[in-house]
Structure 1
């Protein structure tokens, strides 16, 4: 069984190895986004889709001036810097990757955003006092936790009474997977340093057990299909030219060791083995009493095999 220490080193290695590739083919110097993009009828470019993810987080969190916000698993700080600039909030971004902390701090200084602060911390056991934050969000980061219940408990602890948790993340479908499906799912998750996915039906209950109420789960899988397809096409292209790239000194571990798992992630999506969900929940104003079991709006997921990528249009 994988230990937490071993997982942390795997995560650090993955992001050290792949950061150059993300900069070249995925994000730009402004958005610094190493997450999927959300597409809607108004989206015209990949860059816009990446900002859409930030905007969804901000709007569903109700961000506004004067708030203190936690970015749990901030990467190189792209989303934290964006919400600090556009919503006037103070943000504490935390990550276990020291190089990401250094880069994010440099970007905050360059952009003159003193309200965006970054530190090396484990989001399962942060250094923050109880009730520190108005909002905590996690953009494709909670999936990297071995103990997702503990992640939720820690987010509950550091939120103020009445505070809000917002997440965008990957979830496994509810039905049992066959052996071939399990192998395909394991290939893309382990190959990208994700230990396992929470079940789409289990996670709402875990959120409630942590003490949250007014739990909302929305299925946004259809909105990330074009982003996933873009990544698939890029990797297919790079793997095709891998020998030439290696001669030019441009081949990296991402386009070598991690290419196959990422391609498997798209195959897994096409087979309907995972969903992409938005989670919104509140810490009760009276957090001294249990939240209780309240009505929950959950993502629709029958677990039946389907191809969400079919007929969704061409990449923009």
Structure 2
């Protein structure tokens, strides 16, 4: 897979995201991740998965099915976290996967997990900006973004870069939080941003905005599916966990034993579910295809 020399990664531009994931890594490890799948995403519950660990893994299967992925494809995981999806794609689809994230400790952990699984020849990880990657045009069969596009200040830039990276006929698949509208009521905007900004997310886009980004980038066969019903249990579980530990968080935060980013993670998790209850956003899977091939 060729690499361009025209793109470089500037860690300082991702200070908020890096601080958030550095500060909350222990919280995710204790409350969310499974040994089978180090997934920093929500789980899909259906006839194949009715438990937390299985639902986390099932998210990968659902995205792969909706994108129509084929064995042996070259896949870019844009915002790979600790590499859970890359490892799943390598195991189950014999994919050659590249994971990118601006968070250094995630790259290190993903590489360690890949080595432990004997998959270092199939997967690789590096720090990079998924809106401005170091890879050559047409390097991938699929660009995959699972709950990571939300962190981009300009979603349109991601769609343009994904289009550049895909070969003709290549697929784009995104799991994303989507706004119900813009603007919302003043109270709705306050609640929504009260969640997003605490998770180092500047804003999220509407269905129409995603469609416009994809269309302007050149994509065809754009589809957006409301998958909230499949992720509802997972979203509710996070809310329960946050509520359960809220008292301890306030105590430890007041004593200076938890950082502001850690405190914000708990508060944001509670506000996320409140915003969902008020229909301010929904959980979507987006697919699109680069013409040709």
TM-score (norm. length: structure 1):
0.84
Q: Distance in 1 between matches of 2:12 and 2:73?
A: 35
Query: Given the alignment of the two structures, is residue 121 of structure 1 paired with residue 116 of structure 2, yes or no?
Result: no
Query: Given the alignment of the two structures, is residue 184 of structure 1 paired with residue 207 of structure 2, yes or no?
Result: no
Task: Report 1:1-316 matches (<5 A).
Answer: 8-113=14-119, 114-174=121-181, 176-242=183-249, 255-285=262-292
Q: Distance in 2 between matches of 1:139 and 1:71?
A: 8
Give the direction of change, closer, same or farther, for the CA distance of 1:258–1:9 in structure 2 (3 Å limit): same
2:75 touches 2:142 (CA, 8 Å); kept in 1? yes
Query: How far off its partner does 1:152 sit?
Result: 0.2
The unaligned stretches of length 5 or more in structure 1 are: 287-316
Measured against aligned partners, the alpha-carbon deviations of 1:171-202 in whole angstroms (never above 9, x if no partner) come to 11125311111110111000000010011222
Q: Distance in 2 between matches of 1:203 and 1:100?
A: 27
Q: Distance in 2 between matches of 1:92 and 1:176?
A: 36
Structure with greater proportional helix content: 2
1:235 touches 1:255 (CA, 8 Å); kept in 2? no
2:228 touches 2:283 (CA, 8 Å); kept in 1? yes
Measured against aligned partners, the alpha-carbon deviations of 1:268-296 in whole angstroms (never above 9, x if no partner) come to 0000000111111110117xxxxxxxxxx
Q: Distance in 2 between matches of 1:174 and 1:254?
A: 28
| Matched residue SS, 1:157 | helix
Bigger mean CA offset, 84-93 vs 247-256: 247-256
Give the direction of change, closer, same or farther, for the CA distance of 1:175–1:9 in structure 2 (3 Å limit): closer
RMSD: 2.1
Query: How far off its partner does 1:262 sit?
Result: 1.6
When the two structures are aligned, how many residues end up with a matched partner?
A: 283
Q: Distance in 1 between matches of 2:217 and 2:95?
A: 26
2:239 touches 2:270 (CA, 8 Å); kept in 1? yes
Measured against aligned partners, the alpha-carbon deviations of 1:46-86 in whole angstroms (never above 9, x if no partner) come to 11111111111222233333211100110110111111111
| Matched residue SS, 1:257 | helix
Q: Give the structure 1 partner of residue 5 of structure 2.
A: none
Q: Distance in 2 between matches of 1:146 and 1:252?
A: 24
| Matched residue SS, 1:11 | helix
Query: How far off its partner does 1:151 sit?
Result: 0.4
